[in-house]
Chain A
Amino acid sequence: GAGVSQSPSNKVTEKGKDVELRCDPISGHTALYWYRQSLGQGLEFLIYFQGNSAPDKSGLPSDRFSAERTGGSVSTLTIQRTQQEDSAVYLCASSLESGDYEQFFGPGTRLTVL
């Protein structure tokens, strides 16, 4: 595909359930980023991957949040025991390499926790 893809596009879950959000970066992009967009907090950085390692996890809001990347490609963001405050749009971006390269964003996954 030409761009960053994310799935699902929408996810509705019940409080306390676990969810997995998936990101497929642009082919050949070594850096991958997760951000969260919510009404109260705006756009927040969550975590960044270079290859399969995550040098910067500083934005993950709690230990209920984790992410992994395999094969230097697909990444999964997992939220355990979801809470209503986790409701947001989760955006993934990728760039050719880390640093000052343009980050290309996917369309996001809208998560609603009931």
Chain B
Amino acid sequence: AQSVTQLDSQVPVFEEAPVELRCNYSSSVSVYLFWYVQYPNQGLQLLLKYLSGSTLVKGINGFEAEFNKSQTSFHLRKPSVHISDTAEYFCAVSDPWEGAQKLVFGQGTRLTINP
């Protein structure tokens, strides 16, 4: 079964600093990878996804992630964060061989931006 590990439960960063949120997944076979963001008291919103093709994926709000098959990683990055990026971020994986319906999520990383 697939599993996802988000190595940091909390990441505090100063405004305008760069940030990287780390995500590793368990399987070495083909996977689909996702990053979702959850703002306080809201549902999950898709930031970006990797299905195939270029390993560098660009998403909304200036975020990007790089798929690294050999490291089984899909780290999320942003070169300069804003106060509005304060939220919880979830990495998720699905298995295309099983129809890709079920998302398996990591435990989440709470990103706090300090002025």
A binds B: yes
Binding site for B on A (CB under 8 A): 4, 31, 33, 35, 42-45, 48, 50, 55-56, 58-59, 91, 93, 98-100, 102-108
State whether A48 touches B101 (Cβ < 8 A): yes
Q: How far is the CB of A73 from chain B (nearest CB, A)?
A: 18
CB contacts (< 8 Å) of A42 on chain B: these are 105-108
State whether B43 touches A107 (Cβ < 8 A): yes
Contact check: which of B41, B44, B101, B106 meets A56 at CB < 8 Å? B101
CB contacts (< 8 Å) of B32 on chain A: these are 100
CB contacts (< 8 Å) of A35 on chain B: these are 103, 105
CB contacts under 8 Å to A, within B80-114, are: 90, 92, 94, 96, 99-108
State whether B101 touches A105 (Cβ < 8 A): no
Q: Is B51 at the interface (CB under 8 A from chain A)?
A: yes
CB contacts (< 8 Å) of A93 on chain B: these are 44
A98 (CB) vs chain B CBs: closest residue:
B101
B6 (CB) vs chain A CBs: closest residue:
A42
Say yes or no: A108-B103 contact (C-beta < 8 A), given A43-B90, A100-B96, A102-B49.
Answer: no
**Mask for B39-67, Cβ within 8 A of A = 1, else 0?**
00111111001010000000000000000
Q: A interface, by DSSP: helix, strand, loop or mixed?
A: strand
Ranked nearest first, the 4 interchain pairs of A and B with the lowest CB-CB distance are: A43-B105, A105-B43, A105-B44, A107-B43
Q: How far is the CB of B40 from chain A (nearest CB, A)?
A: 11
Q: Would you mind naming 6 contact pairs between A and B with Cβ atoms under 8 Å apart?
A: A42-B105, A42-B106, A55-B99, A55-B101, A56-B101, A56-B102
A107 to B40, CA, bound (A): 10
Q: How far is the CB of B79 from chain A (nearest CB, A)?
A: 25
CB contacts (< 8 Å) of A4 on chain B: these are 43
Contact check: which of B43, B44, B100, B102 meets A59 at CB < 8 Å? B102
A91 to B43, CA, bound (A): 8
A102 to B105, CA, bound (A): 15
State whether A102 touches B46 (Cβ < 8 A): yes
Say yes or no: A107-B42 contact (C-beta < 8 A), given A48-B102, A56-B101, A98-B99.
Answer: yes
